[in-house]
Amino acid sequence: MKNRTAWLLMVSVLCVGCATAPHPVPDDQRWLTYRAGEGPGEGRHVVLISAEQEYRSEQSLPMLARILAKRHGFHCTVLFAVNEDGLVDPTQKIRWEDETVVHDIPGLQHLASADLLILQSRLITLPDEQIRHVIEYIDSGRPIIGIRTANHGFLENFPYTLEGKTVGFGEDVLGGSFRSHHGNWHADSTRGSPVQSQREHPILRGVADVWGPSDVYRTYDTGGSLPAGCTPLMMGQPLTGRKPDDPPNEEKIPLPIAWTKTWTGSTGQPARVFHVTMGSARDYQSAGLRRMTINAAYWCLGLEDQITPDRSVNYVGPYTPLESGFAYPKLGVIPRPVSAYR
């Protein structure tokens, strides 16, 4: 009896220790951290980076981080592009608009402890000491999820070469870079449909009714296809308007909007990669898109056996994202402290 009591006490202590395992990143006003709850993620560390100016990822990525932490058991850290005052600032210019611009993402050193990177950047230029952390991660053999603008996420200063060849993050790592708006930019919307031959893929498990108000990207030339090694999972059909029940635009064929591939850097370790070209903050009001992205996090980390169609992708707290676009005053987009997005 005494031995059983001692054993139960030991198990109790161990369980408490597991439940209170510390987050690998210290709390800091420059980024957001969400400690893992219970779930299959078992405390694996996901770093999400918001550094774009159009699609309100400063709202959508914290929302995804809260779900991944609270409902699925991942430690999450959200990093942001900030201005000189340390404010999250989607209104910052890019080098096309101001040749002197250098962007700033505090906390990139924490990619060293990341098990998964989720990136949504757009045409940013980072200083040498920051881009080094990104390249070291990409070269490491650890998995990557790229969302929408990530396929043109870096404008200048991406000094990554492999076997003497320059590596393009969109084209080479993610499997396609932005070429044009196949849909009508800010004028129509996208209806996603699973590729039937991949309907049993674990990333599509439980995924239904994918629709969002952003348009379909073209990532390869007309008449072409995704590069070899990419597996398309979902096609995007442009609609004639910006409502979910608008009819398809018969003049525009569906194009891939989500696919998988592998990327192998200098370590020789193949990394699982998932890219989705939907991904505005209002796109992520679609439970189907949230589920596909969260399923992809499981798949990227080799946890596909843990994907079930009924795992919750419900919001944790309120989620009322602003509309996409560059008309910042009209849309209510202003620089805000990191804490505003918790």
Domain range list for the chain: 27-184+224-232+257-341
- Give dist(CA 191, CA 184) in Å, integer: 13
Which residue pairs, CB below 8 angstroms and at least 24 apart, start in 242-248?
242/187, 242/188, 242/189, 242/213, 243/189, 244/189, 244/191, 244/211, 246/188, 246/189, 248/191
Task: Report, at the CATH architecture level, how domain 27-184+224-232+257-341 is classified.
Answer: 3-Layer(aba) Sandwich (3.40)
- Give dist(CA 337, CA 314) in Å, integer: 25
- Give dist(CA 32, CA 46) in Å, integer: 12
* End-to-end alpha carbon distance in the chain: 48
pLDDT at residue 155, as a whole number: 92
Q: What is the mean pLDDT of each run of 10 residues along the chain (342 residues)?
A: 40 42 95 97 98 98 98 98 98 96 98 98 98 98 98 94 96 97 97 98 97 98 96 98 97 98 97 98 98 98 98 98 98 98 97
Cα Rg for the chain, rounded, in angstroms?
20
Query: Of 46, 81, 57, nearest to 279 (Cα)?
Result: 57
pLDDT at residue 21, as a whole number: 80
Output phi, psi for 274, to 5 deg. -125, 130
Total-model pTM: 0.94
pLDDT at residue 12, as a whole number: 38
